[in-house]
Amino acid sequence: MRFLVVDDSATMRRIIVNSLDRIGYNDVVEADDGASALAKFAEGGISFIITDWNMPQMSGLDFARNVRSRADGATIPILMVTTRSAREDILAAVEAGVNNYVLKPFTPPVLKEKIDAVLSVAAAA
Amino acid sequence: MATLTIDDAIAAFVACEPGDEAARRKLRERLWTLVADRSLASPIRTALADAIAILDDPSEFKGAKEADGLEKVRQALEVAVDHAECGDRAMSENEPASAPKELLPELAIVSKSDAPVLTIPDDADRSLIEDFIAEAREYLEGAEAALLRLESTPDEGDAINDVFRAFHTIKGTSSFLGLAAIAGFAHHAEDMLDRVRASELAFAGQVPELSFRAVDLLKTLVSAIPAALAGAAPALPAEYEALSHALSHPERAATPIRVSADVPADAPKMRASTAASVPTAEPLVKVRTDKLDRLVEMVGELVIAQTMMMQDGVVRDATNHNLAQKVRHADKIVRELQDLSLGLRMVPLKGAITKLARVVRDLATRSGKQITFTVAGEDTEVDRTLVDLLADPLLHMVRNAVDHGIEAPSERLKAGKPAMGTVRLEASQAGDRVLVKLIDDGRGLQRDKIVAKAIEKGIITSADNMSDTEVFDLIFAPGFSTADQVTEVSGRGVGMDVVRRNLMAMRGRTVITSKAGFGSTFTIELPLTLAITDGMIVRVGAERFIVPTAQIRRCFRPEPSAVFTAQGKGEMVQTAGEVLPVVRLHRALVVHGAQEGVVDGILMVVGDGNNRTAFLVDELLGQQQVVAKPLGDAIGRVRGLTGGAILGDGRVGLILDVDELVLASRGTNGVVQAA
């Protein structure tokens, strides 16, 4: 399963990629902003997106909306990485088509749990 | 599978026994699925989102608090059930939006710990932390630039977001790396900026200052990471706690945005406009600078070897056209290689300039002045070594302009000028020289004051015959400016005389123009690189010397009538409306067999301002690019010489230290007495 990890911080990308590796996912494509992430997604082969929320130019929410507006992006699982969870954030994320989010800082097991949760809902739907 | 209902969520909630974290997580995932279900009415989804927010906050379920946390979840679920049962009528009962909950409980504890030190967990990933250091610095530089932009255009949303993102990213990443002190502090800074973003707080009052200080403190913390990695436990900066607290309560000194977003008219204000840098998409390779220096040096050697070959009799006489053609071809390639290798070390001046915006801001704030600082040509490239060397002179010039050039707002208004002063820095390239101009629209240099001070300091006795240029030049005289004036900003006290001497050592020159009431312009002119010197080869007796062409103003053969001896000052020559002292190089350098008579040789005018001097040489032999080399440890430093270079015929020529020779010829204070 190929992951697309989107974050403007190279260090954060490394952290996410390392975490994915530890829970057995080692096929990862990285992007440092929404625009290049969209381009990489359009190339095909991506089956799971993990994106940062707060990024310059295109926010994680806008990126999610962009993915959802594509024919091939309607159902792809999108997990958002964020630092806070308030009513507005949750609703905004859901409106943008985000499947779930994981709070920083997280451990690899927590990330696995979130990925599994998203995948099981996607499988049920 | 059937769609989840609220009843499913209730069932999952009932399954949440105290201490059963897994059950809580299961409940949370069910709630999320429900929130995402657009067929549910929005008040229901809002209430469910509240429940998720509570479940997402581990501090709600810590130890004894767990029962309270579960009770809060129950209440939120109850609201959802009420809405589901009563429809839209219950909508108004929705509680106001819950405050965003930050999820860094362990960090809050650390920042209040008894031993405020920066620690790194034992299992930390060092390479990741090193990446973080570099990245955090970039974010902080970006935040600082954005803060400066914000001061000129307080409503620039992008800039606020840039600052916010810097704090936000640093907080997020450092929390992963276990850098609790950094994450905790960044968290406070992020909070404040978040409130600015949400227009709860104006970017006014104490907020800009707090933001700048937060950037500074984070820089300090990030700089302390290497020490912490090495096993030390660096103490947190003294203001860590106080600043954290101030960031949490900025409104105690700040103006709420709803009143007015304007900075009070009498508040110091400073604008900086630096063009937003567009990151290049070109892939980059990091190379150690010493390798680069070695490359440039070797190419320099190659150029010399090539020159020697070109000047060899066999090639020069061109009896073999075939060979001559090949040599010319090789020569062309060598020259291109030289340009290329020098280009590798060229970096934009930006590095030396960016910091200045902050300096102007801080100085203006402290002195209650209003200053717009603009920069042009910051992408002008110069040799890397020169960028570092330029930092001090620029700092002095800027400080001078703000402290002595720009007047207080009231004084400016009285003089019919806008209260806001401008300081403009312009960098540009002219041939193989780079020009850096600092232009202010302040009061200008005041001849009378400079003369009075110079007389008081014993630098001159009278200024009766001195031109304005000569008077302005006195501010570079040793003893004129005192070191204590600059300590605060530069961190080390250096006077203007040292600034000029350092610039001269880089074969640079300084020019001041000024008009009373209208401002001053300080110009620094530097070569693009120090690796190659354009030299004039001169003969003195049987010796050949190299004089850097950049330091030669002109050369001429004097009329006998123009040479005279002035009492107490020795030989002088009158030329082009000025009277210059004559220095016989053969005496200064102790060379025998040279022309004694001034009219039999060539006079070469060198130096700047009051230091202009005419050197007597026997003959000008021609110009050549040379690669300057130190004389070597065995010989050490020789007065009057900066080094040597291999000339086209393979022999060594010595490069004259024009500045030192001029100073030596004038006694210790190096300033010509008023003529």
User: pLDDT tens digits for B64-110?
Assistant: 788 888 888 888 888 888 887 775 444 444 444 444 444 333 333 33
Chain A residues touching B45 at Cβ < 8 A: 91, 94
Fold held by B105-264 = Four Helix Bundle (Hemerythrin (Met), subunit A) (1.20.120)
Contacts of A87 in chain B (CB under 8 A): 46, 49-50, 53, 97-98
pLDDT in tens, B187-226: 899 989 888 888 888 888 788 888 998 999 999 899 888 8
Tell me the two tokens of residue B111. Answer: 């920042």
Tell me the C-alpha distance between B671 and B477, whole Å.
7
Beta-bridge partners for B264: none
% pLDDT > 70, chain A: 98
Q: What is the ipTM of this complex?
A: 0.79
B97: contact with A, CB 8 A cutoff: yes
pLDDT, residue B198, reads 81
CATH number at residue A9: 3.40.50.2300
Q: Which of A64-73, B102-111, B291-300, B518-527 has the lowest mean pLDDT?
A: B102-111
Contacts of A10 in chain B (CB under 8 A): 131, 135
Q: How confident is the model at residue A125 (pLDDT cuts 50, 70, 90)?
A: low
Whole-angstrom Cα distance, residue B72 to residue B100?
Answer: 15
pTM, two decimal places: 0.50
The single-letter DSSP state of residue A71 is G
**Mind listing the pLDDT tens digit for each residue in A45-95?**
999 999 999 888 899 999 999 999 998 988 899 999 988 778 888 888 888
Determine the average pLDDT of the residues in A20-32. Answer: 92
Helices (H), B239-349: 240-248, 289-310, 313-316, 321-344
Nearest-by-CA chain B residue for A116: B29
Shortest CA gap B475–chain A (Å):
47
The DSSP element (H or E) to which B190 belongs, if any, is helix B180-197
**CA–CA dist A81, A60 (Å, integer):** 9
CATH class assigned to B533-665: mainly beta
Nearest to B479 by CA among B461, B501, B466, B496: B496
Cβ contact B652:B646 at 8 Å: yes
CA-CA distance, B634 to B646, in Å (whole number)?
A: 18
CB proximity list for B130: less than 8 A, separation 6 or greater: none
How far from chain centre, in Å, is Cα B636? 34
User: What is the model's pLDDT at position B110?
Assistant: 38
Domains B105-264 and B347-527 share a fold: no
pLDDT of A1 higher than 60: yes
Query: Containing domain of residue A120, as a range?
Result: 3-124
Domain definitions of chain B by residue range: 6-93, 105-264, 289-346, 347-527, 533-665
Average of per-residue pLDDT across B624-640: 75
Residue B350 in contact with residue B480, Cβ under 8 Å? no
Q: Please list the alpha-helical segments (H only) found in B401-511.
A: 409-414, 447-456, 468-473, 487-490, 496-505
List the single best residue of A55, A85, A113 to mutate versus B (max B Cβ within 10 A).
Answer: A85
Q: For tokens 């299992």, what's the residue? A: B123
CB pairs under 8 A between A and B: 99
Helices (H) and strands (E) in chain B — how many of each? 23, 19
For residue B317, report the phi and psi dihedrals to the nearest 5 degrees: -75, -15
Flag whether pLDDT at B260 surpasses 60. no
What total number of domains does chain A contain? 1
Cross-chain residue pair A86–B46, CB shorter than 8 Å: no
> Environment class of residue B118 by beta-carbon count within 10 Å: exposed (0-12), middle (13-18) or buried (19+)?
buried
With CB atoms and an 8 Å threshold, state whether B25 touches A113: yes
Look at the block and give the residue holding tokens 């381009």.
Answer: A39
The residues that bridge with B435 in the sheet, in sequence order, are B428, B525
- Check B56 against A56: CB less than 8 A apart: no
Query: Mind giving me the DSSP string for B591-622?
Result: -SS---SGGGSEEEEESSGGG-EEEEESEEEE
pLDDT at A2 over 90: yes
- Mutation target vs A (from B1, B4, B29; most A CBs, 10 A cutoff): B29
Is the CATH number of domain B347-527 3.30.565.10?
yes
Provide the percentage of residues in chain B whose pLDDT is more than 70.
86
